[in-house]
A and B are shown apart, each in its own frame.
Chain A
Amino acid sequence: MTRQPGTSGLIFNEPNVWDKSRDGRCAISLPRADVDRAPLDPALTGDAPDLPQLSELDVVRHYTRLSQWNFGVDSGMYPLGSCTMKYNPKTNEVQAARQGFAGAHPLAGEAFSQGTLRLMYELEQYLAEITGYAGVTLQPAAGAHGELAGMLIIHAYHAKQGRQRSKIIIPDTAHGTNPASATLCGYKSINLKSGPKGILEPDAVAAVMDEDTAGIMITNPNTLGLFEEHIKEICDIVHAKGGLVYGDGANMNAIMGVVKPGDAGIDVLHLNLHKTFSTPHGGGGPGSGPVAVTEALIPFLPVPRVEKELDTFKLVSDCPDTIGRMHTFYGHFGVMVKAYAYILSMGPRGLLDASRLAVLNANYIKDSLKDTLNLPYDRPCMHECVFNDARQKSYHITTMDMAKRLLDYGFHPPTVYFPLVVEGAFMVEPTETESKDDIDQFINAVKAIAKEAESAPEKLTRAPVLPKVTRLDEVSAARKPCLRG
């Protein structure tokens, strides 16, 4: 067997940054004062904040050492289900850093911002084409923010029809952000169980859909990694009662060039540029969550909108039915540049291939590991597959133990304990950018860990042993919170 990537090596301890502080140090060369001092009234001024005092190398070494305790996509395979941890192309970073983009002031005026506006306009068009919609807004700052925008659009649509509704249907496979976004619109969540095949049954939707229900929030492919095969019928049922269908496009990576959600009858769809369109997750953001809508819903999109008049681009806010503004300026433009560069680098065929290979990788893992781990829904999957710990339970080994042991083998673990419909879920999303060789190594690691679960379970319960710290006491952290130094 080939050697696993995880090994031990020299890393460095590093204290909190203020512990390195020495009075009098400063890591910036202060600019020469070329105007007179203008002291403010002392009644208005306070003491300078007690920030650390360091030299430039102190700062560089501090953050270099911290970075070495982290695991990123560039470090190794990161098969975190539902998060789409694909390779983040480096050229995208170069494009976003261009002075004309990074230095652009948001209030410089349309005439002096034609390049940024053109890029936004074209990106909206590309995303509309990929998803099958008439209009797109790039303003939402992240996926959950896009969801909120989408739900606000549905809310505004019903208000415009003259009768607000009070409920929204949310399947049990939904991301937690879905019900939380619905609540912000004042909608009560109606929980809907998925069927025995792990997908929604039209009859179940019909049974709860009524004229007081604003619509349904569907993730497709869903969080079990399965395509909602009855999506068209479900949309028809919801539409027949005057409702709208919200699509959570977090899993769009599986179906680019294969299906357009707009064609399936979904009315509003959000995308995560930081999942499907390769922009980095940054240890938790910034992301970007564009929203695509049908022709009928364009009037409700947030303002300002980017519009084209002849060959000039402008920002338009005069839209009487808009839900309003979602972001101080126009959204996360820096993230948009990277997604735009990705789409242009991939081209139509490249995007289709990305989806096909993402689905191939996931099915390959599913079929290679289903004799090792329990597979609650043994069906052809899309871009991810969900196992659980049912077989390891007899050795008192949990999903968490297997996840932690994978760290010692040099892999980031899959998503664990989500979706909630699978007890002890172990949700693997390899993405298309992992090669067969790396995936084979991952499969071998999981098989080896499953063997250890039988023969040497303490290797799992004690894991991880190689990272800088071992398992952390999360209970005490929450019971006696220490949130600052």
Chain B
Amino acid sequence: MRYLPHTQEDIKEMLAVTGRTSLDDLFDTIPDALKTKNGLNLPDPLTEWELNDHMEKLASENIACKGYTCFIGAGSYDHYIPAIIPYLVSRSEFATAYTPYQPEVSQGTLQGIYEFQTMVTDLLGMDIATASHYDCGTALAECALIALRKNKKADKIAVSDLVHPSHRQIIDTYLKPAGFKMVTIGHTKEGRTDISALEAMDGIAGLAVQSPNFFGHIEDLAACKKVADSKKILFITSFTEALAWGLLKNPGSFGADLVAGEGQSLGIAKTFGGPGLGLLAGTKKLMRDLPGRLVGRTKDTNGEDGYVLTLSTREQHIRREKASSNICSNNGLNAMTAAMYLSTIGKIGIREIAQLNHDKAVYLKSILTSAGFEPAFDQPFFNEFVMKAPKNFKQKRAELINRHCMFAGLDLAPFYPQLTDHYLFCATEKVSRQQMDQLAKEVA
């Protein structure tokens, strides 16, 4: 096997040093009764070219192999990834390093993540961003746990039902075993969180609202903050489309205490939903409550600038059962990817791309309306919106996929049973007017 360097001679010499005569002897401390008798029942090894054939065959069973037009977002977005991003991030010094526990030989990762933290705080208008989390859903669940730790008298988190359905399920998974509860706040007929419902609730430690919400609408975060403040609870916001902050007022400007977000839009391939990038930011006041790694700037013994992992007394390897979270590995390489992407598009590019996403979505909504769809809501949105489809659309949608590799919106009924025949559409900078016109023509 090409990954195993030992010659028979090496093995003989090394066994001699250990005082053994065979490789089997190395496992003498394992009771015989436990040893696997007949080997592993796995396929025979493939050569690299056999592997290529096998994997391409598997990949070709996915529609994505042909390249497709994607009018679906819902937490995973089809944005353009500049060629330099995968090129740079696959440099093995980044990819094959461990967590930077030896900072002297990890300055590349450390400075890169420090810059990532800085750019994320700029993007969100927050004081502090962590070195990353798994995804938005798990980051949001951590925010809920922070709120509950900060307010020991409360045992509930109020979550808007326009927070991504999967994220709400994750929060539920994280909260239940410790005896905490998630209470859901409904939405108004305009498709925004019905924040007035919060006023009558007791025992709440935090309010979580997603903006742009799952329907794509921009929430009234100022109004949410006001209610959260009146209840003296933490205000948590989340988002699944990071590029929205190239255009919209950021959550920090509305006084968010904690922000959880998905960073997949920042140069990371969709890859069937993972690995993405969990973004987690907070106010200075909550610095010592944040989960996971943080990179800080310091000096070396010669007075030169350098970077280290810091504030680790919050973390599991020091605090064990009292840690602020159990997280160890995060999504570091994807955080590096996002930093590279943000440096590439820059201040000018992020504004232009964000505006383009919005422009295209507005165009798509208008031509779908002309094609017989009915807008479900009339609210400002970023790049996603909900349409009520004509009766025969379900079948047409399937044909569009098979004939044109075109994914026309996401059926919302499995997520919101009252929304039968409603579809969530998304347009990014990647779809052309021609593709949108084609879609409208096909479904009309």
Contacts and interface: CB of A to CB of B under 8 A. Distances in A.
A156 B176 CA distance: 10
A229 to B, nearest CB: 6
20 contacts: A18-B115, A38-B363, A48-B347, A99-B64, A100-B56, A101-B59, A101-B271, A115-B60, A155-B177, A177-B328, A180-B319, A281-B98, A283-B100, A283-B113, A286-B134, A347-B43, A468-B104, A471-B104, A471-B300, A476-B298
B108 interface: yes
A70 B299 contact: no
Which range contains the number of B residues in contact with the other chain? 35 or more
Nearest to B95: A280
Contacts of B352: 30
B48 A436 contact: no
A75 B62 CA distance: 36
Contact of A80 (B11, B98, B111, B250): B98
Interface in B180-231: 218
A367 B19 contact: yes
Contacts of B177: 152, 155-156, 184-186
A330 B18 contact: no
Given A33-B359, A325-B166, A347-B43, A334 B271 contact: yes
A72 B55 CA distance: 27
A289 B303 CA distance: 40
Interface stretch (A81-89, A202-210, A451-459): A81-89
A324 B173 CA distance: 5
Interface residues of A, number: 198
For B35, B70, B271, the residue with the greatest tally of chain A CB atoms inside 10 Å of its CB is B271
Interface stretch (A238-246, A252-260, A291-299, A388-396): A252-260
Contact of B349 (A26, A104, A226): A26
Contact of A105 (B6, B245, B380, B407): B407
Given A95-B55, A176-B315, 17 more contacts: A50-B122, A71-B102, A72-B96, A73-B96, A103-B65, A107-B410, A142-B328, A142-B330, A144-B327, A232-B31, A258-B36, A329-B274, A367-B19, A434-B5, A469-B302, A473-B301, A481-B310
Given A184-B326, A364-B17, A474-B310, A59 B84 contact: yes
B1 A346 contact: yes
B97 A70 contact: yes
A444 to B, nearest CB: 14
B417 interface: no
A7 interface: no
Interface in A166-183: 175-177, 179-183
Contact of A283 (B27, B61, B82, B97): B97
Best-surrounded residue of A56, A141, A181 (most CB of chain B within 10 A): A141
A53 interface: yes
A360 B326 CA distance: 33
Contact of B48 (A74, A91, A93, A363): A91
A471 B112 CA distance: 19
Interface in A358-406: 359-361, 363-364, 366-368, 379-380, 403-404
Contact of A484 (B118, B362, B363): B118
Contact of A333 (B39, B273, B316, B346): B273
A130 interface: yes
A327 interface: yes
Contact of A351 (B40, B298, B302, B348): B40
A35 B334 contact: no
Given A35-B360, A63-B91, A472-B308, A48 B96 contact: no
Which one of A54, A69, A118, A472 has the highest number of Cβ atoms from chain B below 10 Å of its Cβ? A472
B134 A141 contact: yes
Contacts of B297: 477, 482-483, 485
Interface in B159-173: 164, 166-167, 169-170, 172-173
A264 B59 contact: no
A247 interface: no
Contacts of A366: 18
Contacts of B294: 481, 483
B328 A144 contact: yes
A413 B95 CA distance: 18
B122 to A, nearest CB: 4
A88 B62 contact: no
A134 interface: no
Interface in B328-347: 328-334, 336, 339-340, 342-347
Contact of B136 (A226, A328, A470, A472): A328
A105 B51 contact: no
B320 interface: yes
A114 B60 CA distance: 9
B429 interface: yes
B249 interface: yes
Given A66-B112, A407-B102, A418-B317, A258 B138 contact: no
A471 B108 contact: no
A449 interface: no
Given A68-B108, A105-B270, A286-B331, A26 B346 contact: yes
A380 B3 contact: no
B121 interface: yes
Contacts of A316: none
A477 B311 CA distance: 8
B40 A348 contact: yes
A356 interface: yes
B275 A286 contact: yes
A108 interface: yes
Contact of B174 (A69, A180, A184, A334): A184
Contact of A285 (B36, B129, B333, B359): B333
Interface stretch (B72-80, B150-158, B370-378, B386-394): B72-80
